[in-house]
Copies of this chain bind each other. A is one copy, B any other.
Amino acid sequence: MKARVHVMLKEGVLDPQGEAVRHALGSLGFEGVNGVRQGKVIELDLAEGTSEARIAEMCEKLLANTVIESYRIETL
């Protein structure tokens, strides 16, 4: 089975990488870009029947830094 984990910085946490992208888009002539936040997607190829709780455990232990990041699990 496949699962996809989306990891984003929490609201209110500064995102310098997103800010750099926003600035670069402006320099390239793309107007009206009000904000950019950058996160990670992790696609997992897992053994059949891996529970969502198990995937959440992977997120808590390794994939996300839950102090500053939130995550969302999507099973495909």
Contact = CB atoms under 8 A, between A and B. Distances in A.
A25 interface: yes
A30 B54 contact: yes
The count of identical subunits is 2
Contact of A24 (B24, B32, B62): B62
Interface in A15-47: 18, 21, 24-25, 28, 30-47
A43 B50 CA distance: 29
Interface string A3-15: 0001010000000
Kindly state the interface size class of chain A when it binds its partner: 20 to 34
10 contacts: A6-B41, A18-B42, A18-B43, A21-B42, A28-B58, A28-B62, A30-B57, A33-B46, A34-B47, A36-B43
